[in-house]
Amino acid sequence: MGFGAMRICGPGILGWPDDRENALRVLRRAVELGVDLIDTAYAYGPEVSELLIAEALHPYPEGLVIATKGGVGRTPSGAWSRDGRPEHLREACEGSLRRLRLDRIDLYQLHGPDPSVPFEETVGELARLRDEGKIRYVGLSNVGVELLGRAQALVPVVSVQNRYSVADRSSDVVLDECERQRIAFLPWYPLAAGDLARANGALVRIAGAHDATPAQVALAWLLARSPVVVPIPGTSSIAHLEENVAALELELADDELAALS
């Protein structure tokens, strides 16, 4: 189980949180609970999430992977904007290195392809950053199987991060390809539940049978979906963090998995 560090920022994922000390406590508690992957991005804040991670956890415990992203920025109004230009990726990566107080980023992910920039130009810069030792491994986000293959022609890809949950199976084909190649699949927005979370829905019924919450069942379903799945639920609440991590102990029966599938 990873931790998504998007929601430790201020409202709208912009600026500093109202309770900065709480954000630091959440990050430290995640590591105490055994979380060994923290996922962030330059665009979260912007910069705020990375700065909070370094303030809370540096020097980082051995074995803790800090994964961040570049290729998406924020406009002055707070809107998300794709920017796959090689020069932007380099600037974003070097900024992340400074903010996270790292000599090398364990996992650097393309936040999303930019339709205005040739994909090979964008990924080619990630390959150069890897060759220079600024990043250890390359990951992709918000891509399909075709783009995954094009990226792999230029650089090894160790992870894909797409939107995926018990209610959103749009990346089933991508997940299946990741499992075939033993590439980590990091589902973002993993707690989306849709109609399954209705009062009489399958999530609620199964949660009641296990004295669990629907969110825990949704995470348990993801963990059972494939051995390469690493959910990265995010929260600004210690109570919700502890609830999410406890889903690791929840085992669903075959008929329960079938009801959710």
Residue 195's pLDDT band (boundaries 50, 70, 90)? Answer: low
| φ, ψ of residue 133 in degrees (nearest 5) | 85, 10
User: What's the mean per-residue pLDDT of the chain?
Assistant: 96
The helix (H) or strand (E) run that includes residue 246 is: helix 238-246
CB 54 within 8 A of CB 8: no
Cis peptide before 59 (omega within 30 of 0): yes
Q: Where are the alpha helices (DSSP H) in 3-47?
A: 20-32
Strand partners, 38: 3, 66
Range of the structural domain that residue 90 is part of: 3-260
Closest CA to 68 of 126, 146, 1: 126
Mind listing the pLDDT tens digit for each residue in 90-102?
999 999 999 999 9
Res 42 pLDDT > 80: yes
The number of folded domains in the chain is 1
Residue range 118-131: average pLDDT?
Answer: 98
Write the single-letter amino acid at 60: Y
| Domain CATH number, residue 29 | 3.20.20.100
Residue range 224-251: average pLDDT?
Answer: 97
Closest CA to 177 of 193, 156, 159: 159
Res 194 pLDDT > 80: no
Residue 32's pLDDT band (boundaries 50, 70, 90)? Answer: very high
Q: CA dihedral defined by 125, 131, 132, 134, rounded to 10 degrees?
A: 80
Position 200 scores a pLDDT of 73
Closest CA to 8 of 44, 32, 43: 44
Position 8 scores a pLDDT of 97
pTM: 0.95
Residue range 39-55: average pLDDT?
Answer: 98
Reading the block at residue 198, the tokens are: 């209705």
Mind listing the pLDDT tens digit for each residue in 134-183?
999 999 999 999 999 999 999 999 999 999 999 999 999 999 999 999 99
Pairwise CA distance, residues 111 & 161, whole Å: 9
Residue 112's pLDDT band (boundaries 50, 70, 90)? Answer: very high
Give the residue numbers annotated as catalytic, written as ranges: 44
Position 225 scores a pLDDT of 97
Pairwise CA distance, residues 234 & 246, whole Å: 14
CB 133 within 8 A of CB 108: no
Residue 76's pLDDT band (boundaries 50, 70, 90)? Answer: confident
Reading the block at residue 83, the tokens are: 């920017």
Residue range 216-242: average pLDDT?
Answer: 97
Mind listing the pLDDT tens digit for each residue in 3-28?
999 999 999 999 999 999 999 999 99
**DSSP secondary structure string, 126-150?**
HHHHHHTTSEEEEEEES--HHHHHH
**DSSP secondary structure string, 203-244?**
HHHHHHHTT--HHHHHHHHHHHH-TTB------S-HHHHHHH
Position 77 scores a pLDDT of 87
Residue 198's pLDDT band (boundaries 50, 70, 90)? Answer: confident
Q: What percent of the chain has pLDDT over 70?
A: 98
Which residues 6+ apart lie within 8 Å of 156 measured at CB? 137, 138
Position 261 scores a pLDDT of 84
The residue assigned the tokens 């999410």 is 244
Residue range 222-239: average pLDDT?
Answer: 97
